[in-house]
Amino acid sequence: MKITTTAIALALTATAVCAEDKVTIEFAYPYSHLFDVTYEAMMPAFKEAHPNIEVKFRATYESYEDGTNTILREAVSGNLPDVTMHGLNRQLILVEKGIAQSLEPFIAKEADFEKDGYHQAMLSLSTFDDQVYGLPFSISLPVGYYNMDILNAAGIDKIPSTWDEVISACETMKANGIANPIFWGWNITGNWFMQAMMWSQDKAIVEDGKVTLDSPEALQALEQIQEIVTKCEMQNLEWKAALASFSAGDIGMMFWSTSALGAVERSQGDFELRTGAFPGMGTAPKGLPAGGNAAMLTSQSEDPAVRDAAWAWLKFITSGEGAAEVAKTTGYMPPNKAANEIILADFYEQNPNKRTAVDQLPLLRDWLAYPGDNGLAITQVIYDGMERIVTGDATDMKELQKELVEEVNDLLPNS
């Protein structure tokens, strides 16, 4: 067959156009052990829908705090990703510093945005000054994980509903030869469990720009934490080691985010796993902090094609189709209404361990950021205080409360 010069020229032109149409965006997210499998599951459908968009995955953040510090550094160096995933309690600082960009121009172009599952209750989690800056990707709540083989062997057949019952179960398991009956996730990101103990009493840890560590509820929380740690003789494990130990069948009860459920199930040993509602302080919790993260646009590109590609990726991963993979591969709940009501209609009935957090949704409260530029430093102060309880360095909770109040107040913005 004779190929003309004109035909060759047209073919080369078409190839060049395809090459020019290829757009690469960069994406960063935390917790590879939780989310790697989620994004892997999403990619085939995204590539089919957007064959000209290549998503380049950056090294994952270790935590939400690490992600925030990384983005703040990259903003200075001019090396920001196009899309980044951030903890719900870490969005505001990126908005205040002009790093996260409003999504309103993109949303305005979408004809059926609400029909796609993006209802107002979802968008409010990432709305600041009446502008949407992020699309929530996953929601988590604290839950209990139980190795029913260990509990049943100790004669325990009822999942605890209060911390007193948890402590009683610990003592029974210890008497039955279990060396480490519990892991209570004090070291989870953002002082989440401290806030859970505060919200359990219907008390916010931040009110009117002040951190409420001087409140009676804060003292109650510290004293309850100390009781759990000391009476259960809890070992001071790094959180990844604790998750691995529970999955291996060595720990009777673990209190952590529902987000880890998929990872636990994938590595679970030969035992019956059940999840249960987060225990309360004498009565059922009155509230619990919403964990999870949101996708935010941080692209520094002035190329409209790159920005449109970043929006396409950001929208896809939070859409009904994308968000459904969150529930299937993790223990997070997708905030997207279409995912929960249509795609996952039968999913929770077939996966009762993943339904536990859904049943707690009426308790949902804000996961609060600490005010001012020293918010991360305040997080560290409270983390250090909790660590002192776990290691036994702090034994007088009133004294510890006083020290924490003084340190935190020194870091708050001048009123």
Residue position matching structure tokens 């990259």 = 74
Q: Do the domain assignments include residue 16? A: no
Report the C-alpha gap between 311 and 316 in whole angstroms: 8
- Indicate whether 123 and 197 sit together in one domain: no
Q: Do the domain assignments include residue 253? A: yes
DSSP 68-81: HHHHHHHHHHT---
- Indicate whether 282 and 395 sit together in one domain: yes
Distances (CA, A) of 239 to 226, 235, 244, 363, 413: 18, 11, 9, 25, 32
Question: Domain range holding 322?
Answer: 23-140+291-364
Report the C-alpha gap between 258 and 261 in whole angstroms: 6
| pLDDT for the residue 7 | 44
- DSSP letter at 133 equals -
Q: Do the domain assignments include residue 242? A: yes
- Indicate whether 96 and 117 sit together in one domain: yes
- Indicate whether 275 and 406 sit together in one domain: yes
Q: What's the number of domains the chain is made of?
A: 2
**pLDDT tens digits, residue range 313-347?**
999 998 888 888 988 899 888 877 777 777 787 88
Report the C-alpha gap between 173 and 231 in whole angstroms: 12
- Indicate whether 78 and 159 sit together in one domain: no
Report the C-alpha gap between 195 and 218 in whole angstroms: 9
Alpha-carbon Rg for the chain, nearest whole angstrom, is: 24
3-state secondary structure 155-219: CCCCCCCEHHHHHHHHHHHHHCCCCCCEEECCCCHHHHHHHHHHHHCCCCCEECCEECCCCHHHH
- Indicate whether 119 and 148 sit together in one domain: no
Residues contacting 138, CB < 8 A, separation 6+: 259, 292, 293, 323, 326, 330, 332, 333, 334, 335
pTM: 0.84
- Indicate whether 304 and 407 sit together in one domain: no
Q: Do the domain assignments include residue 151? A: yes
- Indicate whether 247 and 282 sit together in one domain: yes
Q: What is the pLDDT along the chain (415 residues), one digit of tens a residue?
A: 444 444 444 444 444 444 458 999 999 999 998 999 999 999 999 999 999 999 999 999 999 999 999 999 999 999 999 999 999 999 999 999 999 999 999 999 998 777 667 767 668 889 999 999 999 888 899 999 999 999 999 999 999 999 999 999 999 999 999 999 999 999 999 999 999 999 999 999 999 999 999 999 999 999 999 999 999 999 999 988 999 999 999 999 999 999 899 989 999 999 999 999 999 999 999 999 989 999 999 999 999 999 999 999 999 998 888 888 988 899 888 877 777 777 787 888 899 998 898 888 889 888 998 999 999 999 999 999 999 999 999 999 999 999 999 999 999 998 5
Q: Do the domain assignments include residue 4? A: no
Residue 232: phi and psi, rounded to 5, are -90, -5
Is residue 153 within 8 A of residue 336, CB to CB? The reply is no
Q: How many CB atoms lie within 10 A of CB 175?
A: 11
| Helix, coil or strand: residue 337 | helix
- Indicate whether 256 and 335 sit together in one domain: no
Q: Do the domain assignments include residue 17? A: no
CATH code for the domain in which residue 267 is found: 3.40.190.10
Q: Do the domain assignments include residue 14? A: no
| pLDDT for the residue 20 | 54
Q: Do the domain assignments include residue 267? A: yes
| pLDDT for the residue 119 | 66
- Indicate whether 133 and 186 sit together in one domain: no
Half-sphere exposure of 4 (CA within 13 A, CB side): 3
**pLDDT tens digits, residue range 227-252?**
999 999 999 999 889 999 999 999 99
Report the C-alpha gap between 400 and 385 in whole angstroms: 7
Dihedral (C-alpha) 130, 102, 314, 196: value to the nearest 10 degrees? -50
- Indicate whether 148 and 50 sit together in one domain: no
- Indicate whether 320 and 275 sit together in one domain: no
Q: How many CB atoms lie within 10 A of CB 51?
A: 11
